[in-house]
């Protein structure tokens, strides 16, 4: 018996390959879209991939189940739903499936979504009894799945179903059962997910704050009170996974544009083409293609790309190295962005040496900002963090607008005034600054290091009242 955990960084998504080497069979749970990795891993174990299981219709990444069906004739299993636009072996609660010595009991656990299934596993030498539960987005380390993503369903009703799924189906399975969740820390699919990738039912029953409740009503309140903002792209991906995304087999190759090629493309369609620069803040600020968005290639790249990019408009990537371009493309492909048409070959050096127009965003240190504020010159200081972060404390005289919603609030800002943007460290600040520049704001700067630098320099914050 073997089990492999496949992590998708940025999305904090976890998928699993498990099987019986003696029987030469294995299965995958919650595969991602670039699905050849599972076939390759199966071959390394001298196994044939015989089934793929989705725990639910995902909202944050494109399922690879249909890719595996197309590539290797792997049948798809999942919960019961009328939303599927393709063939799924829809499972009854309690259904037992066997693959060699591996036995999978399918448990209907609605809450995060109505069709959600968990998969209880036994098998392997010395493992005649159940030992693992693949919980998808029902139970995480330190948290539970959010019940507000299913269109047409009341979140409070789904939270009640989540309570029954966890307390009446999962916890009675036994404290020693290992929990293999669908996401780790950093995913917006649950509130405050812990750092551990795996846990046990017993540990969560004793230490998970969401489970330390007196009953259903307290559980529902705790869950609904801890919901992060729903990223706008979730509805698009949920619909895409229900209907069935376009099949590719492999991640498509990208075209390398010369500076001239890109210039011609932008000349023809400057408003329609999305130029995404994945370099770090200082490099982007120093010189970038006019109209480009800065989404630095950090762990938060995927969710922020999902928030601000349009899936219907072509995307051109700019990075310092080809490896950065490939990584960014992997992230976007997994999120259903099939419109990445190419990249700037040679990066900004090609553009600059070609004599093409460049744009810049100013960089202001914490000490420089403090001096500007003390002069009382007319300016806009813009905080682009979340409401909760803003309420905890902000730089005096700042105004607030969340980075993901900046383009909805443009008329509130004076385009003629110098604007300094800050966030928690500087990632969101530069993204917001690039959105402002794209919308015609002439004098835009970011606070280097943002709040972190401001506090470390010894300057004060003001709490909202």
pLDDT in tens, 310-361: 999 999 999 999 999 999 999 999 999 999 999 999 999 999 999 999 999 9
Same domain, 80 and 120: yes
pLDDT given at position 465: 64
Whether 210 shows a pLDDT value over 70: the answer reads yes
How far, in Å, CA of 303 to CA of 315, rounded? 16
Question: Inter-axis angle of helices 155-164 and 216-225, to 10 degrees?
Answer: 130
191 pLDDT band (50/70/90 cuts)?
low
- For residues 416 and 332, the model is more confident at 332
Q: What is the CA radius of gyration of the chain?
A: 24
279: number of CA atoms within 13 Å, CB side? 22
Burial of 415 (0-12, 13-18, 19+ CB in 10 A): middle
pLDDT given at position 330: 96
Final residue of a structural domain among 328, 353, 378: 353
Give the CA distances from residue 394 to residues 18, 367, 380, in Å, rounded to whole numbers and listed in that order: 48, 16, 14
CATH at 301: 3.40.250.10
Average pLDDT on 245-270 reads 92
Q: List the domain range (segments joined by +) for residue 239.
A: 2-243
Final residue of a structural domain among 197, 218, 243: 243
Are 383 and 462 in contact by the 8 Å Cβ rule? The answer is no
Same domain, 451 and 342: no
How far, in Å, CA of 263 to CA of 273, rounded? 11
Q: Could you tell me the maximum CA-CA distance found in the chain, to the nearest angstrom?
A: 76
For the beta carbon of residue 63, count every other beta carbon within 10 angstroms.
27
Q: How many residues make up the chain in this entry?
A: 465
How far, in Å, CA of 449 to CA of 370, rounded? 14
In a domain, 461, yes or no: no
In a domain, 295, yes or no: yes
pLDDT digits (tens, 9 = 90+) for 38-52: 999 999 999 999 999
Same domain, 283 and 414: no
Whether 189 shows a pLDDT value over 80: the answer reads no
Whether 237 shows a pLDDT value over 90: the answer reads yes
How far, in Å, CA of 252 to CA of 255, rounded? 10
In a domain, 56, yes or no: yes
How far, in Å, CA of 141 to CA of 158, rounded? 20
pLDDT digits (tens, 9 = 90+) for 159-173: 999 999 999 999 999
Average pLDDT on 403-416 reads 91
What are the beta bridge partners of residue 139? 144
Same domain, 378 and 449: yes
Same domain, 268 and 119: no
Average pLDDT on 407-421 reads 92
In a domain, 249, yes or no: no
Same domain, 42 and 161: yes
pLDDT given at position 391: 92
Same domain, 32 and 152: yes
CA nearest neighbour of 418 among 357, 358, 368, 356: 368
- The three-state DSSP-derived secondary structure of the chain is CEEEEEEECCCCEEEEEEEECCCCEEEEECCECCCHHHHHHHHHCCCEEEEEECCCCCCCCCECHHHHHHHHCCCEEECCCCCCCCCCEECCCCCEEEECCEEEEEEECCCCCCCCEEEEEECCCCCCCCCEEEEECCEECCEEECCCCCCCCCHHHHHHHHHHHHHHHHHHHCCCCEEEECECCCCCCECCCCCCCCEEHHHHHHHCHHHCCCCHHHHHHHHHHCCCCCCCHHHHHHHHHHHCCCCCCCCCCCEEECHHHHHHHHHHHCCCCEEEECCCHHHHHHCECCCCEECCCCCCHHHHHHHHCCCCCCEEEECCCHHHHHHHHHHHHHCCCCCEEEEECCHHHHHHHCCCCCECCEEECHHHHHHHHHHCCCCEEEECCCHHHHHHCECCCCEECCHHHHHHCHHHCCCCCCEEEECCCCHHHHHHHHHHHHCCCCCEEEECCHHHHHHHCCCCCECCC
Same domain, 217 and 293: no
Same domain, 55 and 166: yes
Whether 272 shows a pLDDT value over 90: the answer reads no
- Quote the number of domains for the chain: 3
How far, in Å, CA of 208 to CA of 193, rounded? 10
In a domain, 248, yes or no: no
Whether 58 shows a pLDDT value over 80: the answer reads yes
Same domain, 433 and 311: no
How far, in Å, CA of 208 to CA of 200, rounded? 11
pLDDT given at position 59: 95
pLDDT digits (tens, 9 = 90+) for 426-464: 899 999 999 999 999 989 999 999 999 999 999 999 987
How far, in Å, CA of 429 to CA of 414, rounded? 18
**What distance lies between CA 305 and its chain's CA centroid?**
9
In a domain, 348, yes or no: yes
For the beta carbon of residue 464, count every other beta carbon within 10 angstroms.
10
How far, in Å, CA of 63 to CA of 54, rounded? 8
pLDDT digits (tens, 9 = 90+) for 348-398: 999 999 999 999 999 999 999 999 999 988 999 999 999 989 999 999 999
CA nearest neighbour of 359 among 430, 460, 268, 257: 430
pTM of the model: 0.93
283 φ, ψ to 5°? -65, -40
Same domain, 72 and 211: yes
pLDDT given at position 161: 98
Same domain, 138 and 200: yes
CATH at 197: 3.60.15.10
Final residue of a structural domain among 301, 336, 353: 353
Give the CA distances from residue 336 to residues 86, 155, 309, in Å, rounded to whole numbers and listed in that order: 17, 26, 11
Whether 271 shows a pLDDT value over 80: the answer reads no
In a domain, 462, yes or no: no
Whether 55 shows a pLDDT value over 70: the answer reads yes
Mean pLDDT, the chain, rounded, equals 94
In a domain, 327, yes or no: yes
Are 305 and 335 in contact by the 8 Å Cβ rule? The answer is yes
């Amino acid at each position: 018996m073997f089990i492999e955990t496949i992590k998708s960084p940025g999305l904090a998504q976890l998928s699993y390959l498990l099987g019986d080497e003696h029987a030469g069979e294995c299965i995958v749970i919650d595969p991602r879209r670039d699905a050849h990795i599972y076939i390759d891993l199966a071959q390394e174990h001298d196994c044939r991939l015989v089934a793929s299981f989705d725990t639910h219709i995902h909202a944050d990444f494109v399922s690879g189940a249909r890719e595996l069906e197309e590539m290797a004739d792997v049948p798809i299993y999942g919960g019961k739903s009328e939303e599927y636009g393709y063939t799924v072996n829809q499972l009854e609660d309690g259904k037992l499936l066997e693959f060699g010595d591996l036995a999978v009991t399918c448990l209907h656990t609605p809450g995060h979504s109505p069709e959600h299934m968990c998969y209880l596993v036994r098998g392997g030498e010395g493992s005649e009894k159940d030992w693992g539960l693949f919980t998808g987005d029902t139970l995480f380390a330190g948290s539970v799945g959010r019940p507000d993503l299913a269109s047409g369903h009341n979140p409070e009703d789904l939270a009640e179903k989540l309570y029954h799924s966890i307390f009446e189906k999962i916890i009675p399975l036994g404290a020693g059962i290992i929990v293999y969740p669908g996401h780790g820390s950093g995913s917006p699919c649950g509130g405050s997910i812990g750092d551990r990738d795996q846990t046990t039912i017993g540990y969560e029953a004793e230490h998970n704050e969401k489970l330390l409740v007196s009953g259903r009503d307290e559980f529902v309140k705790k869950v609904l009170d801890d919901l992060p903002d729903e990223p706008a792209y979730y509805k698009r991906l949920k619909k895409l996974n229900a209907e069935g995304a376009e099949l590719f087999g492999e991640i498509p190759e990208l075209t390398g544009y010369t500076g001239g090629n890109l210039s011609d493309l932008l000349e023809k369609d400057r408003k329609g083409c999305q130029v995404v620069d994945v370099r770090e803040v200082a490099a982007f600020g120093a010189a970038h293609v006019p109209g480009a968005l800065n989404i630095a290639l950090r762990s938060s790249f995927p969710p922020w790309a999902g928030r601000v990019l349009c899936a219907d408009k072509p995307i051109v990537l700019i990075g310092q190295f080809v490896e950065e371009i490939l990584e960014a493309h992997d992230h976007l492909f997994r999120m259903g962005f099939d419109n990445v048409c190419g990249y700037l070959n040679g990066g900004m050096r090609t553009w600059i040496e070609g004599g093409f127009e460049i744009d810049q965003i100013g960089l202001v240190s914490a000490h420089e900002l403090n001096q500007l504020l003390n002069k009382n010159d007319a300016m806009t200081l813009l905080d682009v963090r979340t409401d909760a972060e803003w309420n905890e404390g902000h730089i005096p005289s700042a105004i607030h607008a969340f980075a993901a919603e900046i383009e909805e609030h443009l008329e509130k800002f004076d385009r003629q005034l110098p604007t300094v943007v800050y966030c928690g460290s500087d990632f969101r600040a530069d993204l917001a600054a690039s959105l402002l520049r794209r919308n015609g704001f002439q004098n835009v700067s970011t606070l280097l290091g943002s709040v972190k630098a401001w506090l470390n320099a010894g300057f004060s914050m003001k709490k909202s009242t």
